[in-house]
Amino acid sequence: MAVAKKEQELLVTVSPHIRSDETVGRIMWTVSLSLLPAFVFGVYYFGPKAVYVTALCIVGSLFSEWLVQKMTGREVTLGDGSAFLTGLLLGMNMPASAPFYIPLVSSFVAVAITKQLFGGIGYNIFNPALIGRAFALITWPRAMTSWTEPTAAFVGLDAKTTATPLGLLKEGGMQKLVEVFGDKASLYTDLLLGHRAGSLGETSVIALLVGGAFLLYKRYITWHIPVSFLGTVAVLAWAFGGKGGLFTGDPLLHLLSGGLMLGAIFMATDYVTCPSTRLGQVVFGIGCGVLTILIRLKAGYPEGVMFAILLMNCFAPMIDRNLKSKVFGLKKEARK
Partner 1 sequence: MSHQHQEKVSYWALLKNGVIKENTIFRLVISLCPAIAVTNSVRNGFLLGSAVLFVQAMVNSTVALLRNFIHPRIRIPIFMLIISGWVTVVDMLMAAYARAAYKEIGLYIQIIVAFASILARAEVFASKNKVGASFFDGLGSGLGFLLALVIISFFRELLGKGTLVGLTIVPVKPMLIMILPAGGFLVTGLLMGFFNWIDMRFYGGKGAGGAGGH
Binding site for partner 1 (CB under 8 A): 105, 113, 117, 135, 138-141
Instruction: Output the smallest distance, CB 230 to partner 1, in A.
Output: 29
Closest CA to 273 of 313, 246, 239: 313
Enumerate residues 6+ apart whose C-beta is below 8 A from 100: 56
Enumerate residues 6+ apart whose C-beta is below 8 A from 104: 56, 59, 60
Instruction: Output the smallest distance, CB 143 to partner 1, in A.
Output: 11
Question: Ramachandran region of residue 152, left (φ > 0), alpha (ψ -120 to 50) or beta?
Answer: left
Instruction: Pick the closer one to partner 1 by CB: 114 or 204.
Output: 114
**Long-range Cβ contacts of 130-134 (<8 Å, 24+ apart):** 130/93, 130/267, 130/306, 130/309, 130/310, 130/313, 131/310, 132/86, 132/90, 132/106, 132/107, 133/90, 133/93, 133/94, 133/106, 133/306, 134/306, 134/307, 134/310
Instruction: Pick the closer one to partner 1 by CB: 112 or 187.
Output: 112
Instruction: Pick the closer one to partner 1 by CB: 86 or 106.
Output: 106
Instruction: Output the smallest distance, CB 71 to partner 1, in A.
Output: 9
Instruction: Pick the closer one to partner 1 by CB: 120 or 226.
Output: 120
Instruction: Pick the closer one to partner 1 by CB: 107 or 232.
Output: 107
Instruction: Output the smallest distance, CB 139 to partner 1, in A.
Output: 4
Instruction: Output the smallest distance, CB 281 to partner 1, in A.
Output: 28
